[in-house]
Amino acid sequence: MNAITSSQTRQVKISCRNVWKVYGERPASFFAERNGKVPDPAATLKAARDSRHIAAAADVSFDVHAGEIFIIMGLSGSGKSTMVRCLSRLVEPTAGEIMFDGKDLLRASRQELTEIRRRKMGMVFQNFGLMPHLNVIDNVAFPLKVQGLPPEQRIKRAGEMIELVGLKGREANFPSQLSGGQQQRVGIARSLAVEPELWFLDEPFSALDPLIRRQMQDEFLRLQKILHKTIVFITHDFLEALRIGDRIAIMKDGQVVQIGTPSEVVMHPATDDVAEFTKDVPRVKVITAGDCMVPAGTDVHIGGTVPLHLTLDNVLPQFVGGASILACIDETGSVCGHITAGTVLAALAASEKAAA
């Protein structure tokens, strides 16, 4: 997981503000009658439904910070895929604002939007979308060809991306000669070739076998440690969300019902539905040392140190090894507090109580 100790201090890369996507006979006029403003979202949602409109996204708001892996998750029909398509304007929102580097994407012209997609956004979907008549290196180089890069530059860049995703030596293979996991790696390399500032991934691993899916998650986290991309990642798999996400937005019926870190969502579910999502999650794989931390004492004997973001399944062996008090350190190595076996057990007990 990409550790973000204080996401509030990081630059907001993309901001979704009160976004609606409504389908029906006259969704645009429905909002035009309200001058594009939605002072009472609950009443507006009811009115939309009563008028036989379908709100695939209803008053959705969130910020995604630079370098963050932001997960949008929910069951089928929750609106998560609609939202990622709204963010890139592959689907046109009915109302709201989408601010990218401080500019409203909904006001961008078609030409401006095309340039943003070509040069600043990368997209990976569940369907690999590779061109069967092109080999690996030409598939990866294709968006660079669209950009107009000379052949030498695009082949060099494509080769670098192929090596980055672990497919060096496969440049001349065609998609039909690759496994599903290898094809998805090609799709990832292709999306990275344009060096996107913002990376959208819509259930990219859901079509893969469980073992390959786990390997691709590992590969994804490895790439993020190298590249530090701003990522919006869509999934319906809660364990996947917990494993790779810095923060998670959970959607139901087009609405966001909770946003938080994995440990916040597990330890403090906002609704019964979220609690149901999290009830079978092993707490030791989600709760971090920072969640169990108490202020550092001046008269305590420290038996070792652990990073704030380290999960308890990695912390507990140190207590088994004989440590009684561990100092919690941030990314700079500064001590922020300490944990004991007692504070760990208290956090686990509180989490189990919340899920009950």
Note the pLDDT tens digit of each residue in 239-282: 899 889 999 999 999 999 999 998 889 888 999 988 888 888 88
Of 255, 281, 307, which closes a domain? Answer: 281
CATH number at residue 309: 3.90.1280.20
| Whether residue 207 is found in the same domain as residue 220 | yes
Of all residues in the chain, the percent with pLDDT exceeding 70 is 92
Given phi > 0 = left and psi -120 to 50 = alpha, else beta, which region is 89?
left
* pLDDT score of 1 more than 80: no
Chain mean pLDDT for the chain: 88
Look at residue 352 in the predicted model and tell me its pLDDT.
74
Counted domains in the chain: 2
Look at residue 32 in the predicted model and tell me its pLDDT.
62
| Whether residue 19 is found in the same domain as residue 73 | yes
* pLDDT score of 355 more than 70: no
| Whether residue 228 is found in the same domain as residue 79 | yes
185-to-37, 149, 168, 306 alpha-carbon distances in Å: 43, 22, 11, 33
| Whether residue 72 is found in the same domain as residue 200 | yes
Higher pLDDT, 1 or 297: 297
In this predicted model, what pLDDT tens digit does every residue of 171-224 receive, in sequence order? 999 999 999 889 989 999 999 998 999 999 999 888 888 888 898 899 999 999
| Whether residue 90 is found in the same domain as residue 212 | yes
Burial label for 297, CB within 10 Å (0-12, 13-18, 19+), is exposed
| Whether residue 289 is found in the same domain as residue 273 | no
Of 281, 297, 328, which closes a domain? Answer: 281
Q: Are 216 and 187 in contact (CB under 8 A)?
A: no
Within a domain: residue 191? no
Distance (Å, whole) CA 291 – CA 59: 31
Within a domain: residue 164? no
In this predicted model, what pLDDT tens digit does every residue of 119-154 receive, in sequence order? 899 988 877 789 999 999 999 999 999 888 999 999
Of 281, 310, 330, which closes a domain? Answer: 281
Residue from 245, 304, 249, 338 nearest 4 by CA: 245
Strand 247-252 versus strand 255-260 pairing type = antiparallel
Within a domain: residue 65? yes
* pLDDT score of 6 more than 70: no
* Rounded to 5°, angle at Cα 98 from 45 and 108: 125
Task: Place 332 in a pLDDT band, splitting at 50, 70 and 90.
Answer: confident
Q: What is the domain extent for residue 73? A: 7-120+196-281
**Section 152-178 average pLDDT:** 94
Look at residue 5 in the predicted model and tell me its pLDDT.
42
Q: Are 256 and 71 in contact (CB under 8 A)?
A: no
Look at residue 33 in the predicted model and tell me its pLDDT.
61
Please report, to the nearest 10 degrees, the dihedral formed by the alpha carbons of residues 244, 245, 248, 251 taken in order. Answer: -40
**Section 321-339 average pLDDT:** 86
**Section 311-334 average pLDDT:** 86
Look at residue 248 in the predicted model and tell me its pLDDT.
96
Look at residue 4 in the predicted model and tell me its pLDDT.
44
Within a domain: residue 270? yes
Q: Are 8 and 252 in contact (CB under 8 A)?
A: no
In this predicted model, what pLDDT tens digit does every residue of 19-31 receive, in sequence order? 999 998 888 776 7
CATH number at residue 31: 3.40.50.300
| Whether residue 78 is found in the same domain as residue 221 | yes
Within a domain: residue 130? no
